[in-house]
Structure 1
Amino acid sequence: MHLRLFIVMIFTSIYSFAQTNFGSISGSISSVENEPLELVSISIVELNKNTLTDIKGNFSFSNIVPGNYIVRIQMVGAKEEDIPVLVKENQNTPISYKLTKENIQLLQEVRIIGNNTKITRKESPYVAKLPIKYLENPQVYNVVPKELINQQMAVDLGSVSKNVPGAGIPMVANQGRVTFRSRGFEAEPNARNGVAGAAFSFLDNTNLERIEAIKGPSTTLFGTQVASSYGGFYNRVTKKPYNSVGGEVSYTGGSWDFNRVTFDANTPINSDKTALLRLNGATTFEKSFQDNGFTNSLALAPSFSYQINDKLSLLMDIEFGTAKGTSVVRFNPYTKGNKIQSIANMHFPYRKTFLGDDITYNTQMMNIFGQLNYKISSKWTSQTIFSRARSTINGYITALNGKSDSTLQASVIIGNTNFIATNLQQNFIGDFYIGKFRNRMVVGLDYYNNFNSFDRVTVNAPLVNFINTPSSYRVTRNMLDTLTNTGTPRKEKSSDNTYSAYISDVFDITDRLKVMGSLRVDNFHYNGVYNILTGETSGGLSVSGLQAGPYSQTALSHKSGLIYEVLKDKLTVFGNYLNGFFNISGVDKDGNNFVPQKGNQLEFGTKADLFNHKLVGTISYYDINVDHVLRTDPDDANYSIQDGTQYSRGVEVDITANPVAGLNIVFGYAYNDSKFTKSDASVLNLRPAASGPQNMYNFWVSYTFTEGKFSGLGAGFGGNMGSSSYQTNTQTSKVIIPSYQMFDASIFYDRPKYRLGLKVDNITSEKAWSVRLTPQAPARFLASLSLKF
């Protein structure tokens, strides 16, 4: 009897449960401009259930027991929103939420999707480390978005940089490392997602979402490790996971056996879609247009994000790359004697390397990045960042040194080099009011450790006449290996530590007038150089040419800016005063330690974002002055004194426009006047060599059909032009790099399931050289096919 009753009760319970009619909740989240927002955290408080919005801003919860609940909308940079809902049986409860004030994609990597055919959006969470809009930021920066990268079929960082005013012809180092010009100085892609991410080898584009060129001295917020130039630096924004399944496989083939395969795969990895994984990868092989030379590389870049709960999120990225190749041509002409010469008239062969394909290097790099965001309150967020970068170079690194007007000698470094950098950051980001005045503030602590090791020897190959080169001449591995005993060894290790604290605040005096103030204190400890051969530790070879022991320096860096919105959210005028510094080792002849070198920039201009983002741009004038530059002591050539000065002044124009659907226009202009104003007599009052052309232009115009039977079909045309510049510029010797005009064109057909593209770089096969006198490739043809899923 009891058993029968128990069985009846069990079946009754199962039947009752089966008859329960669940409900559901779904909705969408949009910005103040009605654009969908991706990766916003949505939770049901009572059930502890979480999810994220997808690329269309949508979310949903199913199988919800009927009743009253609170749906919480949570994202960094916005006020927490609780929405009461009533779930009914067999019904869906809709929620539609629109932000009531401007909030841009910030630390949580919430992304505004918008219209993917536009290239005018400039908003960035990284430039100021604060939630401020493009028009609210008094610092100048340029953005090259993925839409433009795709249109131009840009397969490397050098191709991407063509869209940055003043970038010039990229300088490619022997390991594939690339640098650019910026306001008369060298600029490097040393930052990844706003923190240190340098690589002393090649960096593949496979995980590149966009490039941000941040202009002017920027050590106040980023430190010397990232902002390694008074002209600015490049920030690589990487691809992040999104809340759906998707991806792409692409093949690109072209001139000189160019073969490149890339893939991009994304998927949620849990049922709530709060844990997301994305994997990008590429492999590339290309021969040189010259008589010898090649590169062969592999890159993998996984990215993982996890919305742990409605307040805490985790992001982890890894960049791994390995490459084997031959050094690009780097020519250092013979400059002794009073002469003015142009590389175009030296009879240096444009298509000859003088090196065999067995003179190779191997590189390996790995960057690891982790970020935890915790929303402390509606006003404050904690951001904890860990970054570690490692680059290893093995093999042969070459340069061609002129020994006369017609002869050269290959100088070759053989061996191993390692660079390891570790960065820890803790930021607290606030958005709060003091009375009626809005403040957006970041307070941060920063630790950076740098370690380098060298185990290599430099040897010199036999001289050769580069004008009438014997057909049998070629520098080979066997030739070099027999010379290693005669070479100059470098076997050493070095390291340094930097401890920093910084604060930056944007203070709204009115809703149109805003002021920014920033300050950094930086304590640098150089631990010296350990010589493996002698077992001694010293400071290494200082800039003064003397041995200096380990040393410490403390520097203050400041940044201030003013923004006034002439037309609210449309047109602003701005001014900034930026500071940068670099630590300098050594002492003068009286034993006084050198102090950090300083660079200060004064800049003013205007920014515009008009006609509903159809016309966006910046026009500015800057004046950079560098002090505490070392120069040879006129009373004792064995020492240096620290009273040298230099200025760099100029105008920059950066305009992007989308006047009608499908039509995109990019235009840039950079004028730069640089000069040594107090220096060694050999360069006094001259433009620094390697500062790039005085005038540079860039443009790109494209049109894509957005509807009809030709929807997705498009074409683009652009160019880069620069005036003449110098590889060497002294009172007695000048090596001139001629002006250049290089044009590119592309045609593409972009459909939801596939994309076809054709591209021609340097259509006219213009002869051009980088600042290292590396010949640039003639016309290169590329074709690509991408399959999307």
Structure 2
Amino acid sequence: MYKKTRGAQGALACRFIARIVVLSYGFTATPLWAQSSTDKTLFSRTGMLPQKEKKIEVASQSQSFVIVNGTRQPAEDYLARTNSSALKIPVSIQKTPASVQVITHAVIQDRGALSINQAIETVSGVERNLTFPNSLTFRVRGFVDASTTLRDGFREQTGTQDIQGVDNIEVLKGPASVLYGGSTSSGGTVNVTTKRAIANHNFLNAGLSGGSFGLFRGTTDGNRDLSEDGKIVGRINFAYQHDDTFRDFGYNETTYVAPTLQWTPSLHDKIDFFASWQLSNYTWGASQTPLVRKALALPLSYNFDNQTLGASHQNSWRLGYNWVHKLSDSSRFRSGFASSISNYDFGTDRMSTFALSTNGRTLSRGVSNGPQMGKDFDLQNEFSGIFHTGPLKHDWLVGSELYQTDYSAKTYTASLPALVLTYPIYTGALGPARLRSNISTQAEAASVYFQDYISLFDRFYVLGGGRYDATTTSSLNKIQEINTSVSANKFSPRLGILYAVGRKTSLYFNWSTSFIPTSTSSFTGTPLSPGRSRQIEAGVKQQLFHDHLQATVAVYDIRRSNVATTDPAHPLYSIAVGQQRSRGIEADVAGEILPGWKAVLSYAYTFANVTRDNKYPVNSVLAGVAKHTGNVWTTYEFADGTVLHGLGLGLGIRAATRREATLPNSFYLPGYFRLDSALWYKFSLHGRPVRVQLNMTNLTNARIYDTNGTFSMRAEAPRSALGSLQVAF
């Protein structure tokens, strides 16, 4: 049987949370609500901050920010005016010649998002990608050809991140090799910004949540000055979650701890140290559905594995620092390092094959399990500053990066008794296990890059930059004792132009490129050429409603080349001649329409297909890509002085047209219309701010599936409810 932990360990977690709350009275010199380093909206509009702390809260708003390049900037309600990932220098989104969207902490909180996958749904052209549970991989503008996720601007291939430690989420559309190297996706990059310590801002927040499918979640977030002069500040976030999932005999359990420390030794230096640990136990098989048309008619609760199989475990660690040194009033130096280690122990419930019999009633099954380990090491050093040449202002950046990722996996496979879909019997022992693979891979990259952002009369802006990467990818097959190594050196340029028609309107154009190293060799032993991509994008940005609302409309064309495809002369090998293309139109709107009325709106038209390949038919549509997707999330909170003061309402709509389930195309996943809602009330209890919230997801009970395009798909949860209580101590 699966090892259920909800009882004993759940009770222990509750007691642990209670102890943290009790001990927090010594941790917080003066209690204050501060639910996030960027979200100052939770109680500020209701006037429910303790009176003696309001002055501190106002003063701290200028410090409520986190960005990857060391300078900090605020995120205002649903609208973030600046970002960190697009240029790595402090430039407003309105003047950035690229499509950049930021999911602020206020949006995450109001939607009741319990994962990054759920939080990112409000951005156009971004879909979750089906890999392992808790993964941070997304399909952006139709592509999922490489890692799409950064954490605090650092590359990671293997890490996981609980939503409790997330401050905001940035999405940079299009290739991003110029600043982040060859491991980023052709479609775009997601930068997850984590919470950091905040000086002169002592607080403790605690939360409890419960909901459908036996969900229980407890969280705490505490921040405190550790020295009298405020030069040393500490912050710690904690989360524990357990739920039984909507699938029969499935469960998921996560424990997350993330301490951070900020040290300001002088007026010219600031160092952030960060760490995190996350332990996840889950039933992998409970999240898998065979990629066959008949499975779409089965109940969403249907489980395709056996109840007697073993669960999976994942243990992830992260450690790093970010140091910023001010060289002068116009220049600075930044050094940052991040390392992450993830140990996986995949249980026997991890399905590796599904095959439906010709009569459509019996499903043959195969499982795979075994230990895996992933490691990431990323060291960045950058100089940046400002200088003038006549009327031209130059915001420049030069940097270097050393990156290494290691991965090792030992995989055993076994068969399961066939499952009769109409009369499932979840018994029967596994067949004999055999070692199928034992591999280790290592990828190294040494890079230098530069960027110049030129402005003329605050009207014309030109962005130019380039990056040179020297990469080596090696792979060792320990069973066959085959060792391969592939090296590649590439230069990736980028160009952007923006014209500010007025203070509120900007027109922009950009051309960007990227490359993706490969460890694959051809029949002759020659390494395949790295995958290449280039994007052409044009768009308009408009500020509305007294600059409280930001709108971006973009059109783009992305072309991938050197895609590995089957060698027709030697079918067991590949050649790099495949080509794919994605083009589309996107619109994103975020901010405040009227006082108290906020909204996030998005729409995407995406057409992604195969344009050249030896395996897949030309014009095949890429799997999992809907041609039309749309999202609406809007809230209203009653203002001070009204009868319903403290009450907030939210409504969400998400819709998509049908998507191809497989590549090559064989059948469609259905389109869907999903309706969500939120209701919250904020009040003061014995001088402590309290927020009570109810979120309803998928009120329409829509059947929504993600696909990996090969052998399995994953259903999203049916109608569900989440109630939460948050208290500031």
* TM-score, length-scaled by structure 1: 0.80
Aligned with residue 410 of structure 1, among 346, 351, 365: 365
Equivalent in the alignment of 1:701: 634
SS of 2:404 mapped into structure 1: strand
Residue 343 of structure 1 contacts residue 736 of structure 1 at CA under 8 Å; is this kept in 2? no
- Opposite residue 366 of structure 1, the aligned amino acid is W
Q: What whole-Å deviation, never above 9, does each CA across 1:697-740 have from its counterpart, x for those lacking one? A: 0111110012124322101000111110112143xx61210001
Misfit runs of 4+, over 6 Å: 103-106
The reply to whether residue 780 of structure 1 matches residue 727 of structure 2 is no
- Opposite residue 213 of structure 1, the aligned amino acid is V
Equivalent in the alignment of 1:421: 376
Q: What whole-Å deviation, never above 9, does each CA across 1:283-322 have from its counterpart, x for those lacking one? A: 0000021211001110001111111100011001112100
Q: CA offset at residue 688 of structure 1?
A: 1.6
The reply to whether residue 122 of structure 1 matches residue 69 of structure 2 is no
Residue 564 of structure 1 contacts residue 573 of structure 1 at CA under 8 Å; is this kept in 2? yes
- Opposite residue 788 of structure 1, the aligned amino acid is A
SS of 1:637 mapped into structure 2: strand
User: What is the distance in 2 between the residues matched to 1:359 and 1:641?
Assistant: 39
User: What is the distance in 1 between the residues matched to 2:596 and 2:123?
Assistant: 21
Equivalent in the alignment of 2:406: 451
- Opposite residue 656 of structure 1, the aligned amino acid is A
Q: CA offset at residue 207 of structure 1?
A: 1.1
- Opposite residue 736 of structure 1, the aligned amino acid is Y
Relative to structure 1, the CA distance from residue 736 to residue 343 in structure 2 (aligned partners, 3 Å threshold; closer, same or farther) is farther
> Which one is further off, 715-724 or 401-410?
401-410
The reply to whether residue 219 of structure 1 matches residue 159 of structure 2 is no
User: What is the distance in 2 between the residues matched to 1:175 and 1:716?
Assistant: 28
Equivalent in the alignment of 1:770: 706
Residue 85 of structure 2 contacts residue 170 of structure 2 at CA under 8 Å; is this kept in 1? no
Residue 318 of structure 1 contacts residue 369 of structure 1 at CA under 8 Å; is this kept in 2? yes
Relative to structure 1, the CA distance from residue 282 to residue 590 in structure 2 (aligned partners, 3 Å threshold; closer, same or farther) is closer
User: What is the distance in 2 between the residues matched to 1:530 and 1:375?
Assistant: 48
Equivalent in the alignment of 1:210: 168
After TM superposition, list the pairs within 5 Å mapping 1:616-627 onto structure 2: 616-627=550-561
Residue 409 of structure 1 contacts residue 463 of structure 1 at CA under 8 Å; is this kept in 2? yes
Question: What are the ranges of 5 or more consecutive residues in structure 1 without an aligned counterpart?
Answer: 1-34, 37-52, 60-73, 76-102, 335-340, 540-549
The reply to whether residue 565 of structure 1 matches residue 511 of structure 2 is no
Larger gyration radius, structure 1 or structure 2: 1
Q: CA offset at residue 400 of structure 1?
A: 5.1
Equivalent in the alignment of 1:721: 655
Q: CA offset at residue 630 of structure 1?
A: 2.4
Q: What whole-Å deviation, never above 9, does each CA across 1:38-67 have from its counterpart, x for those lacking one? A: xxxxxxxxxxxxxxx9642379xxxxxxxx
After TM superposition, list the pairs within 5 Å mapping 1:70-469 onto structure 2: 107-112=69-74, 118-168=77-127, 170-186=128-144, 190-200=149-159, 202-225=160-183, 227=184, 229-242=185-198, 243-327=200-284, 328-333=286-291, 341=293, 343-345=295-297, 347=298, 350-356=301-307, 358-396=309-347, 397-399=350-352, 401-404=354-357, 405-469=360-424
Residue 157 of structure 2 contacts residue 405 of structure 2 at CA under 8 Å; is this kept in 1? no
Relative to structure 1, the CA distance from residue 370 to residue 108 in structure 2 (aligned partners, 3 Å threshold; closer, same or farther) is same
User: What is the distance in 1 between the residues matched to 2:167 and 2:452?
Assistant: 28
Q: What whole-Å deviation, never above 9, does each CA across 1:443-491 have from its counterpart, x for those lacking one? A: 0100011111223312221222223323xx246xxx33x622xx23322
SS of 1:359 mapped into structure 2: coil
Q: CA offset at residue 366 of structure 1?
A: 1.0
User: What is the distance in 1 between the residues matched to 2:477 and 2:568?
Assistant: 32
Q: CA offset at residue 682 of structure 1?
A: 3.6
Higher RCO (CA < 8 A, seq sep 6+)? 2
Relative to structure 1, the CA distance from residue 565 to residue 474 in structure 2 (aligned partners, 3 Å threshold; closer, same or farther) is farther
User: What is the distance in 1 between the residues matched to 2:340 and 2:56?
Assistant: 32
- Opposite residue 109 of structure 2, the aligned amino acid is N
- Opposite residue 596 of structure 2, the aligned amino acid is G
Residue 521 of structure 1 contacts residue 556 of structure 1 at CA under 8 Å; is this kept in 2? yes
Equivalent in the alignment of 1:553: 488
SS of 1:770 mapped into structure 2: strand
Residue 166 of structure 1 contacts residue 697 of structure 1 at CA under 8 Å; is this kept in 2? no
- Opposite residue 346 of structure 2, the aligned amino acid is G
Aligned with residue 668 of structure 1, among 576, 590, 602: 602
User: What is the distance in 1 between the residues matched to 2:467 and 2:68?
Assistant: 22
Residue 342 of structure 1 contacts residue 738 of structure 1 at CA under 8 Å; is this kept in 2? no
Relative to structure 1, the CA distance from residue 107 to residue 677 in structure 2 (aligned partners, 3 Å threshold; closer, same or farther) is closer
User: What is the distance in 2 between the residues matched to 1:760 and 1:233?
Assistant: 29
User: What is the distance in 2 between the residues matched to 1:467 and 1:342?
Assistant: 11
Equivalent in the alignment of 2:475: 528
Relative to structure 1, the CA distance from residue 58 to residue 654 in structure 2 (aligned partners, 3 Å threshold; closer, same or farther) is closer
Q: CA offset at residue 358 of structure 1?
A: 4.6
Q: What whole-Å deviation, never above 9, does each CA across 1:131-168 have from its counterpart, x for those lacking one? A: 21111211111111111111111111122012111223
User: What is the distance in 1 between the residues matched to 2:572 and 2:196?
Assistant: 53
Q: CA offset at residue 392 of structure 1?
A: 0.7
User: What is the distance in 1 between the residues matched to 2:666 and 2:716?
Assistant: 21
Q: CA offset at residue 634 of structure 1?
A: 3.4
User: What is the distance in 2 between the residues matched to 1:392 and 1:199?
Assistant: 9
- Opposite residue 669 of structure 2, the aligned amino acid is I
Question: What are the ranges of 5 or more consecutive residues in structure 2 without an aligned counterpart?
Answer: 1-38, 41-54
The reply to whether residue 494 of structure 1 matches residue 441 of structure 2 is yes
Equivalent in the alignment of 1:545: none
RMSD between superposed Cα atoms in Å? 2.5
SS of 1:57 mapped into structure 2: helix
User: What is the distance in 2 between the residues matched to 1:58 and 1:528?
Assistant: 50
Residue 274 of structure 2 contacts residue 321 of structure 2 at CA under 8 Å; is this kept in 1? yes
Aligned with residue 760 of structure 1, among 696, 699, 718: 696
* TM-score, length-scaled by structure 2: 0.86
Aligned with residue 538 of structure 1, among 473, 476, 483: 483
User: What is the distance in 2 between the residues matched to 1:754 and 1:722?
Assistant: 36
SS of 2:89 mapped into structure 1: coil
Q: CA offset at residue 357 of structure 1?
A: 6.1
Q: What whole-Å deviation, never above 9, does each CA across 1:647-668 have from its counterpart, x for those lacking one? A: 1000000011312111012110
Residue 68 of structure 2 contacts residue 153 of structure 2 at CA under 8 Å; is this kept in 1? no
- Opposite residue 151 of structure 2, the aligned amino acid is R
Equivalent in the alignment of 2:17: none
User: What is the distance in 1 between the residues matched to 2:640 and 2:287?
Assistant: 47
Residue 532 of structure 2 contacts residue 561 of structure 2 at CA under 8 Å; is this kept in 1? yes
Relative to structure 1, the CA distance from residue 631 to residue 106 in structure 2 (aligned partners, 3 Å threshold; closer, same or farther) is closer
Residue 261 of structure 1 contacts residue 283 of structure 1 at CA under 8 Å; is this kept in 2? yes
Q: CA offset at residue 109 of structure 1?
A: 4.5
Percent identity over the alignment is 23
User: What is the distance in 1 between the residues matched to 2:317 and 2:133?
Assistant: 15
Q: What whole-Å deviation, never above 9, does each CA across 1:12-48 have from its counterpart, x for those lacking one? A: xxxxxxxxxxxxxxxxxxxxxxx99xxxxxxxxxxxx
User: What is the distance in 1 between the residues matched to 2:544 and 2:67?
Assistant: 20
Q: What whole-Å deviation, never above 9, does each CA across 1:483-508 have from its counterpart, x for those lacking one? A: 22xx2332232222110110011011
Residue 486 of structure 2 contacts residue 518 of structure 2 at CA under 8 Å; is this kept in 1? no
Residue 663 of structure 1 contacts residue 702 of structure 1 at CA under 8 Å; is this kept in 2? yes
Q: CA offset at residue 398 of structure 1?
A: 2.5
